[in-house]
Structure 1
Amino acid sequence: MGASGLERRRHALAACLVAAFITGLDVSIVNVALPSIREQLRATEVGLQWMLCGYALSFGLVLVPAGRLGDARSRRALFLAGVALFSLSSAVSGLAWSMSVVVAGRMVQGLAAGLLTPQVSGLIQQLFQGQERGRAFGALGAALGISTTAGPLIGGVLVTVFGPEHGWRWVFLVNVPIGIALLPVAWRVLPAPRPARAAGLGVRRRESMDPVGVGLLGVGVGGLLVPFIHQYQWEGNAEWLLIPVALVVLAVFVGWERTYRLEPLVDLTLFRRPSYNLGTVIALFYFAGFTGIFFTFTLYLQSGLHYSPLMAGLSITPFALGSAGASVAGGRIVARAGPRLVVVGLSIVTVGLVATMAMTELVPGRGVALVTALPLLVAGIGSGLVISSNQVITLSEVPPAGGGSASGVLQTGQRLGTAMGNAAVGSMFFGSLRDGWPTAFRHGLLVVLVCVLIALAVAVYHLIQDLRAQTSGWHRPAR
């Protein structure tokens, strides 16, 4: 492909990265605005929980069907619909006059993010190959790493600049001009559906959208997510009964997909490939761990040490900087390094987390943000290597035509990991508060560390399998 084609693909990648950034940003940006929202809208704890968790719930529910629909019809159309819906729902949340309107807007935001996210990965699969694909996924990892970890900082700046009365509104409204500017650009630079697919395969695709599979997967994933997301709202333990029910539904889903005669929602043969199977497990456990860092650290700083929202956001910035730089670097070298890069990244994260725990033991007072800056930078570097390289390796053997649905499954695992990890970390954190904020934070980090070590064990197993395959004469496909 000529220079003009390369330039067009770069423009398409830039549009995808902007979309990934704003959807990742809204995972964490609202955390520092919670006190302002509580005061201005007289929100209850249940309302605040729904605002935070509704986004994650609707996000996780639509990832796989949205990826499948983008593969079958038009990734560009789903991308544009997602951006438009995300912008509109952001405006509704920012202009809301009651907490119920904010919650509704946030749930629609999550739905829009779920529409967008698998299209981004699918488009990268479609547009890039080999080392170019690795670099593109590295840039995507950087965008996601920066957005998630910089969310508290950006939210803190907005609340500080616009004040507690209006600052929380700009936490949502900041997405609107970005989305409006992105729509015409995306329409121009993203590839339209191929005529052969529209004419030749379109009829069959429309007949094989697998509505039964969509319903079973939605019920199963929802049943797994809800108990973890809403565990602090419900009294008693009855909500945990949803988990075995959800597992039964997911078993029925697998059986249905195996026997479905037309094109299934999820190509289960992907899980026969070690790169996809083990990469998805690594993503699940790693996301169960690392997202809990921001949750507990911002609580520790703001509620325990009385940091301002801006200072709390600045304190997590070293992780964001390390993650961004390492994601780009990881994307460039993953084709040569393969699974060993994931092992190295997870090992670096482990070192950074242990050092962070040690620093909070040595300096438990208000200076904790300063002494944890270097350990968090180290952990961020490891995180950037893990996220970008694992995504490239996991999707390396997936045909581009199925990139959206395969990415949807991978990212559903990430959302499940995030929900389960936050629940486990939160339970340990709040259960240890009687021993003081520093102790609670370290106990929460201990849960994070366990999740990361499980991911590391799986990554080491993957590396051993990969080395054995190479020794026996089998070569990895180009990534």
Structure 2
Amino acid sequence: MAGDAAGDSGAAAGGPGPSAAGAAPDPRRWKALAVCLVGGFMTLLDVSIVNVALPSIREGLRTPVSDLQWVLSGYALAFGLFLIPAGRLGDARGRRVVFMVGLALFTLASAACGAAQSSLWLVIARLVQGFAGGTVTPQISALIQQMFSGRERGRAFGMFGTVVGISTAVGPLLGGLIIQLAGADDGWRWVFYVNLPLGVVCLLLARRLLPDTPAAGRVRLRDLDPIGVLLLGCGVLALLLPFVQSQQWHNDEKWLLLLVAAALLACFVKWESRCRTGGTQPVLNLSLFHVRSFSLGCLLILLYFGGFTTIFFITTLYLQSGLHYSALEAGLAITPFALGSAVAAGVGGRLVGRFGRPLVLVGLVMVTVGLAATASAVHLVPGHAAGWAMAAPLLVAGLGSGLVISPNQTLTLSEVPVAMAGSAGGTLQTGQRVGSAIGIAAVGSVFFAQVEPDGWPTAYDHGLVMSVAFVIAALVVAVADVIAGHRAGAHHGGGKADRESQDREPPDR
């Protein structure tokens, strides 16, 4: 890691970087982290906060159902498409610059969303907002890699994991509160306008506190691998579209797009392999997937987010449509999950260096138990009081979730060289977005299929079973990683290899 360490220690005065050998760490690195976390909170919050605003948007703009779907899915789709290219751009051009450009665009797009006069205007603004969010997010994990090392890196990723969990879980509550205060007619506009003051303050602080990227410089278009970006973008788009549009496209022919996606992604892999031997810097270095912690961590989080994000989707639907809760009441009912996730993510970030992947394993078991208990609570306490009955089991599931997202982020990126941190972080985030889209489509189809014949409680029960299935699949991956880690430790004469990797700089491969 000597090359990276030397480079990073030469970070320009624009902000803190890892200190040179023997020097005291720059105290501003924690302030810089706070700026990153605020930016991350804004972009990730907009994945879920709009859910409770949809009825208000529909009334205010006379929006058809198909456009409402794109208000939600368009943001997630654009967000997921740009994560890896944006991570690569930040690595090459400079993470502070790309973070600031993305955040400025996100703030302007939020203003455009709030000022929308038609559903088409709102959908286009949401697409731009999604691209901007996808530009900001991979820079955060890359900057954490750049600014921190050893146990401090685990703590920093723990804080980022807390933000991921809170922003996803608190979205319905915050959205409901804003609509309650601003009124049903224009409350949805303030769901977007709330980003404006945060964005302006964050931009000013980012310019002052965030570090430069030592290896960044002038970049030619071919250095960003445009062909690879195009193949990857089209492949991810073809993969996500049939899931995102599952409620609008009723013909089974939509699933043929999965074959198209497989072909495009195969072409992407072949092109990226050729780039490595041809002297062109690939958008995604495929050698990253030779690292067990990275490849299994990406697969685990894809499966987990397939179950994790669907919990809020079906719970808010059940409470609002089935039990006639208000948007604010539905958000409050999910708050125990958000609180548990926030508390446990910070703890998980501190403990991951000591316990490694088994900590994630414990978290997945807790989520499974908590969701199963939530389904039981709905049956034991039917009717309007079901929201109260969910509180304790959702708290358990939230505590478990905090031990999954944050430690997995640390473990997955622990052996990634800092020079590739942006594209690696973008890949990890892309897995989350793909998992969310697939999970919502799969769980949603099961949920809606049960509503008409059997009613909301049964639909919720079946939906939770599907969510648990995704979590159990992630649990299997975690078990496989733990077993492989023990075997590797035994082969090298010690069982602490994975844990020790958290206490030192990752090797430069």
Instruction: Specify if TM > 0.5.
Output: yes
1:145-164 correspondence runs (5 A): 145-164=165-184
Residue 361 of structure 1 aligns with which residue?
Answer: 379
Residue-by-residue CA offset, 1:108-137 (whole Å, 9 max, x unaligned) = 110000000000011001111111010001
Residue 253 of structure 1 aligns with which residue?
Answer: 268
Q: 1:223 aligns with which of 228, 238, 243?
A: 238
Q: Does structure 1 residue 118 correspond to structure 2 residue 133?
A: no
Residue 186 of structure 1 aligns with which residue?
Answer: 206
Q: Does structure 1 residue 130 correspond to structure 2 residue 133?
A: no
Q: Is the 8 A contact 2:91 2:419 kept in 1?
A: yes
1:191-202 correspondence runs (5 A): 191-194=211-214, 197-198=216-217, 202=218
Structure 1 residues 82 and 275: alpha-carbon distance in aligned structure 2, compared to 1, 3 A threshold: same
Residue 279 of structure 1 aligns with which residue?
Answer: 297
Structure 1 letter corresponding to 2:471: V
Residue-by-residue CA offset, 1:211-237 (whole Å, 9 max, x unaligned) = 110110001000001111111112312
Q: Is the 8 A contact 2:91 2:213 kept in 1?
A: no
Residue 5 of structure 2 aligns with which residue?
Answer: none
Post-superposition offset of 1:58: 0.4
Residue 437 of structure 2 aligns with which residue?
Answer: 419
Residue 68 of structure 1 aligns with which residue?
Answer: 88
Residue 325 of structure 1 aligns with which residue?
Answer: 343
Residue 18 of structure 1 aligns with which residue?
Answer: 38
Unaligned runs of 5+ in 1: none
Structure 2 letter corresponding to 1:215: L
Q: Does structure 1 residue 44 correspond to structure 2 residue 67?
A: no
Taking only aligned residues, the RMSD between alpha carbons, in angstroms, comes to 1.3
**Structure 1 segments of 4 or more deviating over 3 A?**
1-6
Distance in 2 (CA, whole Å) between partners of 1:110 and 1:392 is 25
Post-superposition offset of 1:7: 2.1
Distance in 1 (CA, whole Å) between partners of 2:23 and 2:330 is 44
Distance in 1 (CA, whole Å) between partners of 2:381 and 2:178 is 30
Q: 1:439 aligns with which of 434, 453, 458?
A: 458
Post-superposition offset of 1:99: 1.0
Residue 213 of structure 1 aligns with which residue?
Answer: 228
Residue-by-residue CA offset, 1:383-414 (whole Å, 9 max, x unaligned) = 01100011100001100111000111111111
Q: Please, what TM-score do these two structures have when normalized by structure 2?
A: 0.91
Aligned residues: 474
Residue 99 of structure 2 aligns with which residue?
Answer: 79
Q: Is the 8 A contact 2:139 2:422 kept in 1?
A: yes
Q: Does structure 1 residue 428 correspond to structure 2 residue 441?
A: no
Distance in 1 (CA, whole Å) between partners of 2:195 and 2:51 is 16
Q: 2:118 aligns with which of 94, 98, 109?
A: 98
Structure 2 letter corresponding to 1:269: S
Residue 240 of structure 1 aligns with which residue?
Answer: 255
Structure 2 letter corresponding to 1:136: A
Identity of aligned residues (%): 56
Q: Please, what TM-score do these two structures have when normalized by structure 1?
A: 0.97
Structure 1 letter corresponding to 2:486: L
Q: 2:49 aligns with which of 12, 29, 37?
A: 29
Post-superposition offset of 1:207: 4.3
Distance in 2 (CA, whole Å) between partners of 1:101 and 1:421 is 28
Q: Does structure 1 residue 376 correspond to structure 2 residue 391?
A: no
Post-superposition offset of 1:161: 0.5
Distance in 2 (CA, whole Å) between partners of 1:268 and 1:236 is 35
SS at match of 2:186: helix
Distance in 2 (CA, whole Å) between partners of 1:5 and 1:161 is 44
Structure 1 letter corresponding to 2:139: Q
